Structure 1
Amino acid sequence: MSNVSSAKRIPAAAMALGLGGLVPFAAGAAALWLPLPWLTPDAGLRLIVVYGAIILSFLGGIRWGVALGPYDTARQSRDFAASVLGALAGLAAVFLPPVPALALLIAGFLSQALWDVTSAEAGRLPGWFGRLRMLLTSGAVIAQIAALVAIILG
């Protein structure tokens, strides 16, 4: 596993696509604070919640793939089960009122980031992946918090 943990540079494609993936979060949050001709506040909120659910599912898929590694059955079972929690949280968020939906998404993103960073530090994922996940999680969670504050103050 030393080759996995020794990778230091975030691949350019991963960085570019990851940062591009923050655009829907930023646009959704902006729509709650600014009058945007192309995105109403209601649509911005839906964008943040639904896109957040999709991304949590995507992150769970990454973890499902990692669980395929050379691990014992008990660990695989635990990791397979944990990998679907983000998708379930995202699905629940889509059907909740805005404040609990955003709170659930924020908790889901922070939990997933913690798991990803600790896995990268333990050598189960490339070292760069933990750094990328912290960067992208920060962007997503900042947008979700901005949306949450806008709704609470609104």
Structure 2
Amino acid sequence: MLYRQTAARSVLRAISSSNASVARSSLVNNVFKAPLTSSARYPTRPTVSPSLALAAHKPVTTALVRYSSSSPNTDDDVDVMAGIKGDAKVIKETFSLEAVPKDALYLGMAGVIPYVATSLQTVYLAYEINRAAVAGDGLIFSGQSAEFMLHILEPIQIGYGAVILSFLGAVHWGFEWAGYGGRFGYRRYAAGVIAPAVAWPTLLLPIEHALITQFLAFTFLYYNDARASVKGITPPWYSMYRFVLTFVVGASIVATLVGREQISGIVSRDHNISEKVSALLFLQQKEKAEAEERRKAEQEESE
């Protein structure tokens, strides 16, 4: 009995193993029939590209990778161009002068022409003086003529700057009289008083010191006007209007200082205020001494 059961189990195991081997052999013949045939034709096995291997395992992922690599990256380009256009629009709106009344804009732009003209002339005359010092003669003017014209331009530019600074201070008096944004009294009148108090003493300073002082004064007044515009005590367009004009004037002052720096060792140095006061006191003492000598001489003749 034991022998019969053992024989039956052996038969069942043999049948199941034979069926599995048949199934495996048929699957292998169907799947690998083409590779085996090609390998029989070609002694060396052809290389399979990684993309094909990836496609055999993950066809959907491979298709997405191929599409992302082959399709043009238009989204980033569109985003970059949109960002640039947006930034340009913001800059244009920030520095826009459309809200400024046209008459005030035109007269304000015309008001900076003398500053720009004197600055450009200073730079050109500095070039002529340098050329005359090196080559012996200037391009159009001689060295002495260019230096003489330069000394004529100096009080013109400084005097005009003092006038403009005084005018910018007086604007706040006009706002106070008109009651724009309310009444502020001395606090708003102070801006109109400080501006000429700083501007007109620059007429007594040497040219470089005067230009630097006026540059700082223009910058401070713009800062004050910008704060006043934010507080609503000046028109909303006034701060941008002042920024553009102050920028032109400041650039002109810087150009003048650069031009004068190029001829600092050639042109005779201007006297400062202390030297001018000392010269004035010396002349007064000299005149008193001469008057005393004449008086003594007249007394001796009379005796």
Give the TM-score normalised by the residue count of structure 1.
0.84
Q: Deviations over 1:81-118 (max 9, x none)?
A: 23211111111111100111001100110111111111
1:30 maps onto 2:139 in alignment: no
- Measure the CA separation in 2 of the matches of 1:21 and 1:84: 21
Q: Is the 8 A contact 1:60 1:85 kept in 2?
A: yes
SS of 1:46's equivalent in the other structure is: helix
1:150 maps onto 2:259 in alignment: yes
Which residue pairs with 1:95 in the alignment? 204
- Measure the CA separation in 2 of the matches of 1:67 and 1:152: 42
Which residue pairs with 2:239 in the alignment? 130
Which runs of no fewer than 5 residues in structure 2 stay unpaired? 1-97, 126-139, 264-303
Which residue pairs with 1:61 in the alignment? 170
Which runs of no fewer than 5 residues in structure 1 stay unpaired? 1-7
- Measure the CA separation in 1 of the matches of 2:208 and 2:115: 16
1:85 maps onto 2:194 in alignment: yes
**Corresponding pairs, count:** 143
1:102-121 residue pairs with structure 2 within 5 A?
102-121=211-230
More contact order relative to length (CA 8 Å, sep ≥ 6): 1
Q: Is the 8 A contact 2:123 2:260 kept in 1?
A: no
Following superposition, the deviation at residue 63 of structure 1 comes to: 1.3
Q: Which runs of 4+ in 1 moved over 3 A?
A: none
SS of 1:127's equivalent in the other structure is: coil
Which residue pairs with 1:44 in the alignment? 153
1:14 maps onto 2:104 in alignment: yes
Report the identity percentage: 27
Alignment RMSD (CA, Å): 1.9
- Measure the CA separation in 2 of the matches of 1:24 and 1:136: 13
Name the amino acid aligned to 2:250. Answer: V
The structure having more radius of gyration, on CA atoms, is: 2
Name the amino acid aligned to 1:32. Answer: T
Q: Is the 8 A contact 1:60 1:86 kept in 2?
A: yes
- Measure the CA separation in 1 of the matches of 2:190 and 2:227: 18
